[in-house]
Amino acid sequence: MSEMDEGTRRELIARARRGDGVAADALVRAYRPSVYRYCRARVGDHETAEDVTQEVCMALITGLARHRDEEHSLSAFVFGIAARQVALAHRRRYARPEDPTEQVPERADSTPGPEEHAEQADTSVYVLELLSTLPPDTRHLLMLRIAAGLSAEETGQVLGMTAGAVRVAQHRALRQLRSLAEAEVRR
């Protein structure tokens, strides 16, 4: 969600609050790809990610009135909603234990472009294995930074941390991931 500057966002928010459907549509379209990426990274399968993304977009439109510019950026507001919706999705899954959980590595999907997709799926499994070595909170932090594309400040707003604490935590997590990746290369 880096294509739109804060001023444009604010204007769209104001118009959407006044019931401007075009502005609401523009906001949803701007955030939807990164919301899907974040949800897909956290829930592990496409269908659930699509459902959760849809719920986040609906909650964004209905919850815009609650957003206060001076407290959080809109990105932090959106991904705060997304984090809660993902948590709800996980809870629903735990209620149905036959479904995969976040911890289960995703399976290779054979739909588009077989070879390239299989390669990407291997990479995804590898990345998820690396990320699974991190504590859940730290993994969530990295997913907000990498998959959602939030800044350290925005990530801090979502997680209730200072930006400095985010930077320290992400640095140590990356150091751990890199040493694991290097050990893998040496093997």
Query: Which burial class, exposed, middle or buried, applies to 150 when counting CB atoms under 10 A from its CB (0-12, 13-18, 19+)?
Result: buried
d(CA 3, CA 41): 21
Per-position DSSP letters for 131-168, written without gaps between them: HTTS-HHHHHHHHHHHTS---HHHHHHHHT--HHHHHH
Asked if residue 176 binds other proteins (CB under 8 A), the reply is: no
Check binding of 6 to other proteins (CB under 8 A): yes
The single residue among 65, 101, 104, 109 that binds other proteins, judged by CB under 8 A, is 109
82 is a site residue for other proteins (CB under 8 A): no
Residue type, 129: E
Q: What is the DSSP letter of 181?
A: H
Nearer to other proteins, 99 or 130 (CB): 130
Place of tokens 């996980």: 90
Under rule CB under 8 A, which residues in 39-58 are in contact with other proteins?
40-41, 46, 49-50
**DSSP H helical segments within 18-96, as ranges?**
21-43, 46-63, 74-95
* Binding window for other proteins (CB under 8 A); candidates: 2-10, 60-68, 95-103: 2-10
Q: With binding defined as CB under 8 A, does residue 161 bind other proteins?
A: yes
Name which of 97 and 186 has its Cβ closer to other proteins: 186
Check residue 5 for interaction with other proteins (CB under 8 A): yes
Min CB(97)–other proteins separation in Å: 24
Nearer to other proteins, 70 or 97 (CB): 70
Please state, in angstroms and rounded to a whole number, the distance separating the CA atoms of residues 63 and 61: 6
Minimum Å distance from CB 57 to other proteins?
Answer: 9
Residue 17 within binding range of other proteins, rule CB under 8 A: no
* Minimum gap (Å) between residue 118 Cβ and other proteins: 10
- Length of the chain measured in residues: 187
